């Protein structure tokens, strides 16, 4: 039986077990939206396509499945760009489907035409322009495959309106075969043994883990490796949740706002075992002074990540879970506390993460309380800025896919829609977006999405009246000249929440924090919590840009 392109698209999505799509329609998307209307797919109408893209990503990250978003041609499609770039940088699978003007108009500067495959080429893993309806089912199949395999990433399909209407026979392909795309999962056995040998002989090893551990589901294997070989563990922002943050072997996040112990252990180590992490500049600090005495083992699915920033001694290309599982067999079981472990204990004890514990309402306290109340069982998303860095420091995570934050791109406005996507994926979990007063305003319109679709996410706005992180740099490095960082026109966030039909709670006193959080969790509606925090608090420790990892500013506690 013949089907239209629109029917083929929706049926293909159903074959891929898609249950929910985020997006906004438009003129050239009408044929598909008409089919969507009768389909079992839940459509979540967002208020901006950027919101839809981040929701799809948040959905992917919370569930381990693939989030899908729809946008119409032209401005709808271009509004997706930041969301695609974000998912691409953080290697998160996602499918974006954009409508396009009719094929005979492409290239004519038609109304609402944008060359979205051209525009998104650098920010997607791959993209397609469908010119013939007979290719559509295969393209959808390939897109889902490419998005989820190898180093995952977003894939965009651009679908002209006439292709949505054109008809052909439909059968969904059972498999994909792309001769030019064959990701390698098995690590080289010789390299794995060699790496295990190096671990067995190292005096001062650190296990450095990133988002790849979460993607590949290697957290159990990582725990086994760390415990068997007694490896101190440090992580990247993307790796939060891949290892329990409360554990004898945990040192915390490494990098610009990493812990003293993680940064010092890295610098003094003689062996770094990197798993699914890419030695980003926010992690390494000044490259030529990075871990001068360390040999490096690097396990990654993406060969381009290896020896890109840091020279690697033992590269192992493949899936982290498969490789680490194998490696555990060859590492020797250790039980004794070595001098290295003792040294690390001292660093941890002498330089813990801390802040001033007075009666003032401080961001760190609020985050600590959120961590207490959710006990690692909820999902935390963050915006970008001080709110994000404090969250990395004061949220205790124990399981993967519970800490969702914009890593590589650092996108303000990410956390709120990502929280909505995560809540759709995990309706039984409490979901908090830890936000800044600046960031929340970048996608605040999505509150309407949360209200309309009954998605009761909680937003903890750490309201400091500043673009705080930028202000912090100005305070430290630009003589307190707060150029362009004062947010004096902030709205009343409680009233904003109420205007949208959500709930707003203002918190001005430290002693009110717990009760307010408890109340917010009980309410079965989206809630904005407006925490009026100390305005000029800074994030410490801090490694200034261009400094070595152990040149740490401790700040005042």
Partner 1 sequence: MRHAISVLVENKAGVLARIANLFSARGYNIDSLAVGETEDPSISRMTIIVRGDERILEQIEKQLNKLVDVIRVSDFLETEHLERDLTLIKVAADKNTRLEIMQIVDIFRAKIVDVGSSSLIIEMTGNEEKIKAFVEIIRPFGIKEMVRTGVVAMARGNK
Binding site for partner 1 (CB under 8 A): 117-118, 121-122, 125-126, 129, 146, 151, 178-181, 302-304, 307-308
Q: Render 189-251 in DSSP notation, one character per residue.
A: HHHHHHHHHHHHH-SSEEEEE-HHHHHHT-HHHHHHHHHHHT--EEE-GGGTTSS-SSSTTEE
Contact 483/456 with Cβ under 8 angstroms?
A: no
Q: How far is the CB of 71 from ligand TPP (least distance, A)?
A: 19
For residue 362, the partner it binds in ligand TPP, Mg ion, partner 1, none, with Cβ less than 5 to 8 A by kind, is none
469 binds, among Mg ion, ligand TPP, partner 1, none (CB under 5 to 8 A by kind): ligand TPP
In a 10 Å sphere around its CB, with 0-12 CB exposed, 13-18 middle and 19+ buried, how is residue 345 labelled? middle
Select from Mg ion, ligand TPP, partner 1, none the partner in contact with residue 470, using the beta carbon and a kind-dependent cut-off of 5 to 8 Å.
ligand TPP
Query: Minimum distance from CB of 439 to ligand TPP (Å)?
Result: 3
Could you give the CA distance from residue 143 to residue 69 in angstroms, rounded to a whole number?
Answer: 13
Quick one: which of 265, 266, 226 has its CA closest to 248? 226
User: Least distance from C-beta 14 to ligand TPP, angstroms?
Assistant: 35
Residues whose CB falls within 8 Å of the CB of residue 543, separated by 6 or more in sequence, listed in order: 255, 256, 257, 258, 263, 285, 549, 551, 552, 553
Find, among 281, 334, 331, the residue nearest to 545 by Cα: 281
Q: Which does 94 bind (CB under 5 to 8 A by kind): partner 1, Mg ion, ligand TPP, none?
A: none
Residue linked to tokens 């492409």: 106
Residue 304 Cβ vs partner 1, minimum distance, rounded to whole Å: 4
Residue closer to partner 1 by CB (options 151, 264) is 151
Whether 208 contacts 274, CB under 8 Å: yes
- Closest approach, Cβ 433 to ligand TPP, in A, equals 11
- Is beta strand 527-532 parallel, antiparallel or unpaired with respect to 503-507? parallel
Report in angstroms how near the CB of residue 246 gets to partner 1 at its nearest.
37
C-beta of 16 vs 446, nearer to ligand TPP: 446
**Closest C-alpha among 289, 291, 296 to residue 275:** 296
126 binds, among Mg ion, partner 1, ligand TPP, none (CB under 5 to 8 A by kind): partner 1
Nearer to ligand TPP, 318 or 541 (CB): 541
The interface partner of residue 125, options being Mg ion, partner 1, ligand TPP, none and the CB cut-off 5 to 8 Å by kind, is partner 1
Q: Which residues bind ligand TPP (CB under 6 A)?
A: 383-387, 410-413, 436-439, 462, 464, 466-470
Find the shortest distance in angstroms from Cβ 440 to ligand TPP: 7
CA dist., res. 17 & res. 15, Å (int): 5
The residue ranges that bind Mg ion (CB under 5 A) are: 436-438, 464, 466, 468
In which residue are the tokens 């309309």 written? 452
238 makes contact, choosing from Mg ion, ligand TPP, partner 1, none, with CB < 5 to 8 Å by partner type, with none
Quote the CA–CA distance of 57 and 66 in Å, as a whole number: 8
Identity of the residue, 118 or 190, whose beta carbon is nearer to partner 1 in the bound complex: 118
Residue placing its CB nearer to partner 1 in the complex, 241 or 315: 315
Closer CB to partner 1, 300 or 537, in the complex: 300
Contact 463, 493 (CB under 8 A): yes
Q: Which is nearer to ligand TPP, 431 or 467 (CB)?
A: 467
Min separation Cβ 295 and partner 1, Å: 18
The span from the CA of 388 to the CA of 438, in Å, is 12
């Amino acid at each position: 039986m013949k089907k239209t392109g629109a029917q083929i698209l929706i049926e293909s999505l159903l074959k891929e077990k898609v249950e929910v799509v985020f997006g906004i329609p438009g003129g050239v998307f009408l044929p598909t939206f008409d089919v969507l209307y009768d389909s079992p797919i839940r459509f979540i109408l967002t208020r901006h396509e950027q919101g839809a893209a981040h929701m799809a990503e948040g959905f992917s990250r919370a569930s381990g499945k693939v989030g899908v978003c729809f946008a119409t041609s032209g401005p709808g499609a271009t509004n997706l760009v930041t969301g695609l770039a974000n998912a691409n940088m953080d290697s998160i699978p996602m499918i974006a489907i954009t409508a396009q003007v009719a094929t005979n108009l492409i290239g004519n500067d038609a109304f609402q035409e944008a060359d979205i495959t051209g525009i998104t080429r650098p920010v997607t893993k791959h993209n397609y322009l469908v010119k013939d309806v007979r290719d559509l089912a295969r393209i959808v199949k390939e897109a889902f495959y490419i998005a989820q395999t190898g180093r995952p990433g977003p894939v965009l399909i651009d679908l002209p309106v006439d292709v949505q209407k054109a008809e052909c026979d439909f059968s969904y392909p059972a498999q994909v075969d792309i001769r030019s795309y064959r990701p390698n999962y098995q690590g080289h056995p010789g390299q794995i043994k060699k790496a295990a040998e190096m671990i067995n002989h190292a005096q001062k090893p650190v296990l450095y883990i990133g988002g790849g551990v979460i993607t590949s589901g290697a957290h159990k294997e990582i725990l086994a490796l760390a415990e068997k070989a007694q490896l101190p563990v440090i992580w990247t922002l993307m790796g939060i949740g891949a290892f329990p943050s409360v554990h004898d072997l945990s040192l915390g996040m490494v990098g610009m706002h990493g812990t003293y112990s993680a940064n010092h252990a890295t610098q003094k180590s003689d062996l770094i075992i990197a798993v699914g992490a890419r030695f980003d500049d926010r992690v390494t600090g000044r490259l030529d002074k990075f871990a001068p005495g360390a040999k490096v083992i690097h396990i990654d699915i993406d060969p381009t990540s290896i020896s890109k920033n840091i020279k690697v001694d033992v590269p192992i290309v493949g899936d982290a879970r498969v490789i680490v599982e194998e490696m555990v067999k060859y590492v020797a079981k250790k039980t004794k506390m070595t001098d290295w472990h003792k040294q690390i204990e001292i660093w941890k004890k002498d330089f813990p993460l801390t802040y001033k514990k007075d009666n003032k309402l401080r961001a760190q306290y609020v985050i600590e309380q959120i961590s207490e109340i959710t006990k690692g069982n909820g999902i935390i998303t963050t915006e970008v800025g001080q709110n994000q860095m404090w969250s990395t420091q004061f949220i205790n995570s124990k399981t993967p896919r519970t800490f969702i934050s914009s890593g590589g791109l650092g996108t303000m406005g990410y956390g709120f829609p990502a929280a909505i996507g995560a809540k759709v994926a995990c309706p039984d979990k409490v979901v908090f977006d830890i936000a800044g007063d600046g960031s929340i305003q970048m996608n605040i319109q999505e509150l309407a999405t949360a209200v309309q679709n009954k998605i009761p996410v909680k937003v903890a706005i750490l309201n400091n009246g500043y673009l705080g992180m930028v202000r912090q740099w100005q305070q430290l490095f630009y003589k307190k000249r707060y150029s362009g960082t004062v947010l004096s026109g902030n709205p009343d966030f409680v009233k904003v929440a109420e205007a949208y039909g959500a709930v707003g709670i203002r918190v001005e006193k430290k002693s009110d924090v717990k009760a307010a959080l408890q109340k917010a969790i009980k309410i079965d509606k989206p809630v904005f919590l407006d925490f009026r925090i100390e305005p000029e608090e800074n994030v410490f420790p801090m490694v200034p840009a261009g400094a070595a990892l152990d040149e740490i500013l401790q700040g005042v506690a």
